Structure 1
Amino acid sequence: MSSKFDLTDALLEKTPQDSVGQPIEQEEPKSRRMLSRLSFLLPIAFTLLSFYVRFHNIDKNNYVVWDEAHFGKFGSYYIKHEFYHDVHPPLGKMLIAFTEWLAGFNGDFNFDSNHEYPEHVNFKRIRQYNAVFGALCTPLAYYTAGNMGFSTLTTCFVTLMVTLEHSFIVLSKFILLDSMLLFFTLTTFFCMTKLFTLRATPFTKSWSWWMLLTGVSIGCVCSVKWVGLFITVVVGLYTIMELYSFHCNPLLSRKTVLKHWTIRIIDLIAIPFLIYLFCFKIHFTILYKSGTGDASTNTLFQINLENNKIENSPRDVVYGSDVTIRSHGLSPNLLHSHVQTYPGGSNQKQVTGYGFADGNNIWQIKFPRSSANQLDFNNTLNGQILTVRDGDEIRLQHKETKTNLHSHEIAAHVSRGCYEVSGYGSEEIGDGKDDWIIEIVEQRKSSNPEFPTEDQTTLHPVSTFFRLRHKELGCYLTSTGLSYPPWGFKQAEIVCKYSWSKMDKSTWWNVEEHWNDHLESSPNYLPPKSKFWTDFVLINFAMASSNNALIPDEDKYDNLASKAWEWPTLHTGLRMCSWSRDLYRYYLLGSPFNTWLSTASLVLFIFILIKLLFQWRRQSVNITEDQFWNLAIQGGFPFIAWLAHYLPFVTMGRVTYVHHYVPALYFAMLVCGFVLEYCFKNTKSYVRYSVYALLFAGCTYTYIYFSPLCQGMHGPGVRYSKLQWLPGWDIVL
């Protein structure tokens, strides 16, 4: 290698060109024809090997392994059509349900953790269908490396790393989302590299097709896990750089630039969003029965599910009625209170939001403190039943604790800019701050067209949305969407806040259940249908809330959790199942060869980049636009993709596990490919082939040596003591 680094020689394959820059067709020599045939057979060979190592011994452990307890169960809910709630979007779980259906599963097994699969559940077939996603990552890696311009040796080495990566293999063997997430992450980056190869021919049929496929892939990866947003950011950055280069090109007309913008907005923004939206439409359509996830939805959604637990109640809410009240905001929980008190502030009884059925959700509607009228022993006023109407003043008394819904000028405990809401006093003890004013904001009609039109000024269960304005303070009862700390059992925060918009849904409430012995229900009443957009927004916010709640519990030791710094260093692994010597045991740990080599490559890449920048500043190297783009696609974007998939887990407060590093590890492997290209592409043949021979041998030997981790360990742990290289690896009992 010369003293002055030639970026063209190192990063570009030179092709003879004519005077207008088009490649000159040359007679293909015999050696190149052989190489062409080899390049056709290589991805097939790697793919067959990938299928073998992922399918091998896939059924040796016939117990529910690790998160199969979650995702296998979610798949069964689709088969039984029972609504559930999870922290992830539905596409991956619907694909799992599809594989279960293909395997003949009828949903009668609950996938309880560490339970043996019954004979009639073809868990081997279900696992195999899911393993296909992991196996197909191999050809994607091969063709991605080819699109990036890597040499055949580097392309094969990166592909071998992906094929024999222990963590990729073991995650592919079970009913999990990780292999699907990795597959769609790879398809997205592959499509981006394919677009890179077509930069010179925009608006052609091939270019338009791959632009559309990129958007479809983005929609799919984001619909499996929100982690897909990380690769979306990478594609977005690539797109911004492309559009900027178009703006700087004086030869392009405004019309052409506008066309570039329009196509990308449609294909890379609109199409992914529509796919994400469509997945939820299918999700809601399939899950039409009441299930375990009802508490995460609003009243209208629940009551339209088959076999729901909301009883048909009297249509007019009156003073003296017992009710449950559900928020219509982004945290659709029931208004709740209990005997526990706030640790600060007023030290009065806590008022929270709670989604599940509970006796502490029941409130009785009373006359306000400001009124001299009081209910008699029959819960009527002088024998007359009075309905609750728009503008009425009411007092809500908690059924269990007999305290009143109360607010005062004391700061809330989480949202400090709002007022605390508490349970205070009793029937005899209280003041004007127990009083609230009903403000009806919307009335929904029955879905039964023959049901008579109801009074629009009267409070009705299910169909009336209203706000509760504090009479003295003027603030509104609100569900903020945040949660209390552990002293509040992590239940939803309820406050009184000033709201200047009638359309502030966080201040909207509706009566869900209604009981009154003096009134009869209306059997002909059918509730209004829920709106898809409302359901879509609420379920996504519920997913976000559930994700935010996955924080480490300081009072409990989680032996499976790990920190982000431990992943690229292989400081620790994860036991995926029971560690009984009588079972096949699997240990989630990256291949030491792949992980440590790729981690070292990340450090080397930074030094290479610094060196190139230094040479460029000293004008000892001249980087053309084409060379810059090749440098970006081969090294820059894989490194950015690694950062995008790794740094969020470093900063986030939620609990993290080893498998969160899987997508980042793939991009670290691509960075490794770039470093090898940079260091050895222009060396003498015997040096280059010797280095790559050692790399291929090291990758293969490491897989074989540590293969029990991903193919299953059986019998006494002492057999595998040689695998425990670091003290943080708890492989041996």
Structure 2
Amino acid sequence: MSSPQGTLRQRNVPSTRKKTPDPAGADSELDSLVKANKQVTGSSSELDYKIAFTIITILAFVSRFWGIGHPNEVVFDEVHFGKFASYYLERTYFFDVHPPFGKLLFALMGWLVGYDGHFHFENIGDSYIANKVPYVAFRAMPALLGSLTVSVTYLIMWESGYSLPACIVAASLVLLDNAHIGQTRLILLDATLVLAMACSLLCYIKFYKLRHEPFGRKWWKWLILTGFALSCDISTKYVGTFAFVTIGSAVIIDLWDLLDIKRPGGALNLRDFSYHFAARAVGLIVIPFLFYLFWFQVHFAILTRSGPGDDFMTPEFQETLSDNVMLANAINIDYYDTITIRHKETKAYLHSHETKYPLRYDDGRVSSQGQQVTGYPYNDTNNYWQILPVNDDHQMGRHVKNHELVRLRHLVTDTVLMSHDVASPYYPTNQEFTTVPLADAYGTRSADTLFEVRIEHGKTNQEFKSISSHFKFIHNPSKVAMWTHTKPLPEWGHKQQEINGNKQIAPSSNVWIVEDIPSVAADSPRRQREERQVKTLPFLRKWFELQRSMFWHNNQLTSSHPYASQPYQWPFLLRGVSFWTQNDTRQQIYFLGNPIGWWIASSLIAVYAGIIGADQVSLRRGIDALDHRTRSRLYNSTGFFFLAWATHYFPFYLMGRQLFLHHYLPAHLASCLIVGALLEFVFNAEPSAEEPSYHEIKAGKKRAPGPQRHITARERFAGQSMVPAWIACLVMIGLVFAGWYFFLPLTYGYPGLSVDQVLRRKWLGYDLHFAK
């Protein structure tokens, strides 16, 4: 299913290489299929395809660039990706959960037009005109890529040997889709992602068409270009991994076929097979990974100044950035200093107050009824802790060092931090954190109040510093790490964060920072610092650190969002996303696909699954309803498109993060390819009495030569009219055009709509603005 074989050689220039002859003295089954495919499309000349391609490409540019300057203010997620482009141009370090390639393209466009990055896209609705931002140039980048996506969709169908109506239908479904248009007219990453995904399919198809000419120049070219497209895909967003699954599945089946001893010319010997395997591994794994690393190297090379992303990185990483204020203000921590401790990831302060834990929790478990220790988001005197040595010797001026045991005294309540073998409020497996009176801390509960300061990547006797020392606070007797999370406690805990002891010490979510030392005066000599030199770190160490942080924060995107949606809603277009509104003119941009196009595509996906199921049942019952060539195309070429759709859709069901309609765009493009392929199947497929049946082929039988067996492919298809296909093509395009035009005001943001006009567009209860 995953290999686009049987449909991919119809436009190849005949090879000059000597091919392995068929054992029976005839062309291979695959080459017979290729010749027939040429005749299916033979009613349309090469010039017809080129004219249609030119017209569709022009229309794609018109639909994407038309009115691109409206609105002239920040829209939706332009606040993020426009800001990142500005940071690149200012060379200021920032953090984002997506890889850098797509954002670097925006920075490139800004650099080309001479923009200096002075505007930081802080709020939706901020004026581009007033702030003198070349926003049209920024939006032109995704518009260009989105226009080319339509062209690539057409080329995929053309390269796969489909008739002109099939090519036009598939490309038109993308051309006239409101979601693809809306997402490519704004400063967003999805235009880059979808184009890279489409290019990976096209390049692999062109590579596969050269399967009879392995290791030639063109064969290597398209293999490497496939890898480059895959690299651009995953270097834009991590969901680009799905394209690797698509191409990888096709490659695995292709390699499996090369081992088949029944293939024309016989199976490859193991040495030749190893060459094929190694070439694909280099072209589709090694080279894409090197390109992936290259974009991160560019990312690090540009972002050399301290910025808003510093806080996401370790002190060692921050020391590679110039002008890092936080590290410049780091202070050695001495025993008996008063400190405030903040969780690195949730930003909550270590906090305590006189309120006690309840006797019983909601699930019936019993607490210690000790003093609550919580995480609090605001600076407060209840966040003040004094760091004490194991022996309260009152020796001042002694620095705290890595791996030393300490106690923390809560100043307001004069109690000492403690953990013990009592379950925490939310985690029965984690230990409760509480406090005990100072006398008990140096008496009966002495051991339970001891904690180890474990600096991340720290060395023995390394000095413990504010801000720059990222550390884990390990309870000494039980070896659990102090930890917090974002789920708030009930009313009895004032809806603050739970602090508990995590048995898993390794996770980065256990890391804390000493934010300040309030006991050290602002003019104290301890706060005076010499100018420091910028340090360096090996590229791979910086890359690994950034990857860990990106993956962690990506997995934390689980909070609810008013416009989030679930994967089951996407194929049926049950809801969209509000991007922008303007009350005075009643204008709005509502991200929504073309309902008619999406419903056609989703319906035909179901039809395709039904056809495959019916064909398999028929074959089991000895009924051979399709000729071999049609079945090969249905299973291999259309199956390849179906695989692309499935691998870009079903994995989202496994994700726990926020999901939105735009995540379906790559899968939607694949569904458009399926529509074009099924149009071809419906109007060109027919049973064949001249060819051997499926069962005869499976049994290795051939029919006796006779007059019928030698009918040429051109004669067979000569009487096959393309009129029904053209009629179906025009009807489908007409319906999709009507849907595009009807929802056009929501896609382009103008003109404004009256209440009645808005209500007429709430087809499935879309949550549109100005509906009353």
2:354 aligned with 1:338, yes or no? Answer: no
Residue identity in the other structure for 1:94: L
Q: Secondary structure at the match of 1:109?
A: coil
Deviations 1:655-674 (A, max 9, x none): 33222221121111112122
* Aligned pairs (5 A) from 1:334-413: 336-339=349-352, 348-350=371-373, 363-368=385-390, 371=391, 373-375=392-394, 381=395, 385-388=397-400, 392-397=404-409, 404-411=416-423
What is residue 231 of structure 1 aligned with on the other side? 243
2:475 aligned with 1:470, yes or no? Answer: yes
What is residue 69 of structure 1 aligned with on the other side? 79
Specify which of 721, 734, 750 is matched with residue 713 of structure 1: 750
Deviations 1:501-539 (A, max 9, x none): xx9878788878778668576637657544543432333
2:645 aligned with 1:668, yes or no? Answer: no
2:275 aligned with 1:259, yes or no? Answer: yes
Q: Secondary structure at the match of 2:212?
A: coil
Shift of 1:137: 0.3
Matched-pair contact (CA < 8 Å) for 1:337–1:349: no
Q: Secondary structure at the match of 2:407?
A: strand
What is residue 100 of structure 1 aligned with on the other side? 110
In structure 2, C-alpha distance between the alignment counterparts of 1:401 and 1:623, rounded to whole Å = 83
What is residue 538 of structure 1 aligned with on the other side? 545
In structure 1, C-alpha distance between the alignment counterparts of 2:496 and 2:253, rounded to whole Å = 43
Q: Secondary structure at the match of 1:577?
A: strand
Q: Secondary structure at the match of 1:576?
A: strand
Shift of 1:621: 3.7
Q: 1:58 to 1:335 in 2, by over 3 A?
A: closer
RMSD: 4.1
Shift of 1:252: 1.0
Q: 1:179 to 1:597 in 2, by over 3 A?
A: same
2:141 aligned with 1:129, yes or no? Answer: yes
Shift of 1:435: 0.7
What is residue 450 of structure 2 aligned with on the other side? 435
In structure 2, C-alpha distance between the alignment counterparts of 1:490 and 1:96, rounded to whole Å = 40
* Aligned pairs (5 A) from 1:15-26: 19=25, 21=27
Shift of 1:271: 2.2
Matched-pair contact (CA < 8 Å) for 1:335–1:361: no
Residue identity in the other structure for 1:287: L
Shift of 1:636: 1.9
What is residue 740 of structure 2 aligned with on the other side? 703
What is residue 4 of structure 1 aligned with on the other side? none
What is residue 36 of structure 1 aligned with on the other side? 46
Deviations 1:595-642 (A, max 9, x none): 111011011011111012123323444999987764344222322322
Matched-pair contact (CA < 8 Å) for 1:43–1:142: yes
* Aligned pairs (5 A) from 1:88-167: 88-111=98-121, 112-119=123-130, 120-167=132-179
Specify which of 485, 488, 495 is matched with residue 487 of structure 2: 485
Residue identity in the other structure for 2:226: T
Residue identity in the other structure for 2:274: L
Matched-pair contact (CA < 8 Å) for 1:581–1:715: no
Shift of 1:471: 3.1
Q: Secondary structure at the match of 1:251?
A: coil
Residue identity in the other structure for 1:631: L
Residue identity in the other structure for 1:180: T
Q: 1:459 to 1:108 in 2, by over 3 A?
A: closer
Residue identity in the other structure for 2:387: I
Shift of 1:222: 0.9
In structure 2, C-alpha distance between the alignment counterparts of 1:76 and 1:423, rounded to whole Å = 46
Q: 1:560 to 1:238 in 2, by over 3 A?
A: same
The range that moved more, 513-522 or 211-220, is: 513-522
Matched-pair contact (CA < 8 Å) for 2:69–2:136: yes
Specify which of 573, 576, 596 is matched with residue 573 of structure 1: 576
Q: 1:708 to 1:286 in 2, by over 3 A?
A: same
Q: Secondary structure at the match of 1:425?
A: strand
What is residue 678 of structure 1 aligned with on the other side? 681
Residue identity in the other structure for 1:349: Q
Specify which of 520, 523, 528 is matched with residue 530 of structure 2: 523
If the length of structure 2 is used for normalisation, what is the TM-score? 0.78
Matched-pair contact (CA < 8 Å) for 1:314–1:521: no
In structure 2, C-alpha distance between the alignment counterparts of 1:243 and 1:402, rounded to whole Å = 71
The range that moved more, 163-172 or 77-86, is: 77-86
Deviations 1:20-70 (A, max 9, x none): 6387999x99x9697112222322221111001111111131121111122
Specify which of 471, 488, 503 is matched with residue 497 of structure 1: 503
Specify which of 238, 255, 280 is matched with residue 243 of structure 1: 255
Matched-pair contact (CA < 8 Å) for 1:336–1:362: no
What is residue 171 of structure 1 aligned with on the other side? 183
What is residue 590 of structure 2 aligned with on the other side? 587
The range that moved more, 203-212 or 259-268, is: 259-268
Deviations 1:654-705 (A, max 9, x none): 3332222211211111121222222111475243332223223333343334
In structure 1, C-alpha distance between the alignment counterparts of 2:675 and 2:653, rounded to whole Å = 22
Question: Share of identical aligned residues, percent?
Answer: 27
Q: Secondary structure at the match of 2:326?
A: coil
In structure 1, C-alpha distance between the alignment counterparts of 2:174 and 2:317, rounded to whole Å = 44
What is residue 728 of structure 2 aligned with on the other side? 691
Shift of 1:218: 1.4
Residue identity in the other structure for 1:77: Y
Residue identity in the other structure for 1:228: G
Deviations 1:410-460 (A, max 9, x none): 34567754434x25235445322111245689656xxxxxxxxxxx53535
The range that moved more, 721-730 or 673-682, is: 721-730
2:79 aligned with 1:56, yes or no? Answer: no
Residue identity in the other structure for 2:75: V
What is residue 643 of structure 2 aligned with on the other side? 640
Gaps of 5+ in 2: 362-366, 687-719
What is residue 276 of structure 1 aligned with on the other side? 292
2:237 aligned with 1:219, yes or no? Answer: no
Residue identity in the other structure for 1:647: F
